[in-house]
A and B are shown apart, each in its own frame.
Chain A
């Protein structure tokens, strides 16, 4: 069975400082991993995906994630937070026909 654990339910950072959202996964197979973002009253949007190519994945809006098989981790980072980054972020794993979401991390940006 596949699952993801998001280690922080809430992260607060100051504008212009780095962002780190942590995710660990469990999967029986070589998984596909994703990060999705959900802004209030908007649909889920794909930030980036890992599908067994390069371990460092670049996404939209300056976000990156690094796949580390030895640590079963897929942490999301951004060098400099912007106010518009405030949202709910979901780490997602897929090794079959559907996606399994984590419980989410709410990112707050302090002006």
Chain B
């Protein structure tokens, strides 16, 4: 069990550029979640996958955001035409299908700064 891995740890980009983050969950975890955390706030739910299927998306997830989990293993989160308001910590978490709430493991996050 190597834990949930997120890359990169930090990303600095200019407004209008596209960025992509990667999350590698704990192996054999069926569920994968993306959350966003801004300064002074708790994490906010963005979307989640069960295997390769994206089952729910938050209204926070505008059409500039897209997430994939093509083979039910790692996941990517892409932000197109970044805006300064996208600056935040993007957190990934994974869990087994059963008792998912009780066995949710978080990665250390990707800190995005949009200049």
- What is the interface of chain A, defined by CB distance below 8 A to chain B? 9, 32, 34, 41-46, 49, 51, 90, 92, 94, 97-104
Tell me the bound Cα distance from A49 to B95 in angstroms: 15
Interchain CB contact under 8 A, A43 and B44? no
B side interface size, CB within 8 A: 23
Chain B residues lying within 8 Å of A42, measured Cβ to Cβ, are 108
Residue of B nearest to A106 (CB): B40
Chain A residues lying within 8 Å of B102, measured Cβ to Cβ, are 46, 49, 51
20 example contacts (A-B, Cβ-Cβ < 8 A) are as follows A32-B101, A34-B101, A41-B108, A42-B108, A43-B106, A43-B108, A90-B43, A94-B101, A97-B48, A97-B55, A97-B56, A98-B33, A98-B48, A98-B56, A99-B45, A99-B101, A101-B43, A103-B41, A104-B40, A104-B41
Interchain CB contact under 8 A, A103 and B44? no
Interface class of chain B by DSSP: mixed
For residue B55, give the distance in angstroms from its CB to the closest CB of chain A: 7
Tell me the bound Cα distance from A92 to B45 in angstroms: 12
- What is the interface of chain B, defined by CB distance below 8 A to chain A? 3-4, 33, 40-45, 48, 55-56, 91, 93, 100-102, 104-109
